Structure 1
Amino acid sequence: MADAALVRSLGRAAGEMRPVTLTPGVMKNADGSCLAEFGDTRVLCSATIEQGVPAWRKGTHAGWVTAEYAMLPAATSRRTPREYRGRKGRSMEIERLIGRSLRAVTRLDRLGEVTITLDCDVIQADGGTRTASVTGAWVALHGALWTLVERGQLPRLPLTGQVAAVSAGFVDGRALLDLDYPEDSRAEVDLNLVCTGDGRIVEVQGTGERSTLDRSQLDELLDLGQAGIAHLVELQSAATGYRR
C-alpha cells in the first residue's frame, strides 16, 4: 500500500478524531442550542419546547422528544436542492435516528405532556453529519430541559445520562475513526455508532459498501467508536456542566 494512501486529514492517526467543538447557547430564541463542529462539518442544533404531545400520547402524562434534520443547499461543494415533506428519504432516516438516540437517555415519564423538538441543520458537510447531529442535539436538549427546571416546571433534569455518536470504517484496509467525506466516500465498510455516556450501545448502523467484514473487524470498529464517544462525552460535560 502506498504511503500516500495512509495520510489522513490534519495528519490524524487512525484512532484520532477531527477537532471537535460543542458551543452551547448560540441561538437567542431557542430553548436550547448548540453548534457542533467536527472538523469542517458544522451542524446547528436547536431545541424548542411546546406544550402538548402527539395525539397518540395524549393522556399518558408523559412527554415526547423528536427531531428534524436538514442540509442547507450550500452545505456541500455542489448545491443540494432543498427537501420537502413527502421526499425526505435520507433526512427522515437520520432524524429518526436522532430522536431515538435522545429518547434513550430521557425520562419521558418525568417530562409531563410536553414535546421537545430538536432541529439539526447542517450548514457545512464534510462527513459525519448524523453523528455530529446526535452529539450536538444532546447539548441542545440539556439546555431545553434546564430551562424547564429554571422555570420551576420540573424539579430536576429528566435525564438518565448522555448520548453521543461517531463514525468509523475501513478505508484502504485500515480501521479509521471519525471519517471525513473523502474517507467516507471510498470506505470499504462504513459504520455509525451511538452510545450512552457509560458506554452502552443505543444503535449500530454498519454497511459493507465495497466489501464484507468479519466479527473481529466489527469489534475493532466498535472499540474505536466507543473510545471516540468517550471523548465526545467529556466535551459535552465541559459544554454543559452535566455530571450524572
Structure 2
Amino acid sequence: MSSALLTVSGLGYKAGSKILLNDISFSIQVGELVGIIGPNGAGKSTLMKCLSGFQTYSCGDVLLKQQSLSTLSHLSRARQLSYLPQYNEAAFPFSVLETIGLGFHVKQQSQVVSAKTIASQTTQALALVGISHLQDRLVTELSGGEKQLVNFARLLVQDAPLMLLDEPTASLDIGHESQLMNVLHQACRQGKSALVAMHNLNTAAEFCDRLILVNQGQVMAVGKPNDVLSETNIAYLYQDLVRVCQHPKSGNTIVSPYKR
C-alpha cells in the first residue's frame, strides 16, 4: 500500500485538566472516504479541529504527506487540506458567488487564476451541489442548510487533496444529504480523500469505505462499516434504544431507533 495521505499517531488533547482525546491513531489513504462516528460528546469535533490545525493538540503528531502538521505554514496547510466546520455562520453579506470564490484564495497565492476559470469552476460546483438557483442570493439570507451547501461548494473549488468535514449534512434534508455525500464519494473515486464526522450511521454505512468509532475521546473500533456497526458495538454505546439489521438489497447495516 502506498504512503498514507494522513497519518495520526498517538494524538491527545487536554482542556485544562480534562482529557478530551487520548491516544488517537489512524491513517487515510488516497481515494478513501472515511467516516468518524460516535455518540454526543465522544470527541469527534475536537478531533476534527485538531486535524485541521484550528486547535493545537497536546501530544502525538499529525502527518500530511509525511510532513508534520505543526511545521506547516497556514498557506501550506491550506494547499493540502480543506475544512468545513460544523457551525460556519456568514459574518458578511457576500453573495453566494463571492463566498464560493473565496475557495480560490489559496491557488491565487502561487498562480494566476483567470476570471474565466473561476467562473467556470464556480458554476460547476454550484451545479454539482444543486444550488445554481442561489448564486445571486446573499449568504446572510439563506437557511442553515443552504449556507452549508454553499460552504461545501467553496470547499470543492479549493481543490485540496484532503477534505475534512464536521457534520456536513446535519442541517440538510435527506435529498440534499444524499446529493452532498454522492458528490463527496465521486470526488474520492477521482483521487481526493475525505474524513467526515457524522451522526447518521445509515449514511455512514452507505457511503464510507471505512469508519472510525470514537467514544469518550478514544478510538473504539476502525474498519469496514458492517464490522464497526456491529450489534455488540451498537449495544454497548446505545444500550437497547436502537436495533441493528441489514438492508435487504445493499446488505449494508441499518441502525434505527425503536419503540419499546
By percentage of residues, which structure has more helix?
2
Establish whether TM, by shorter chain, passes 0.5.
no
TM-score by length of 1: 0.30
TM-score by length of 2: 0.29
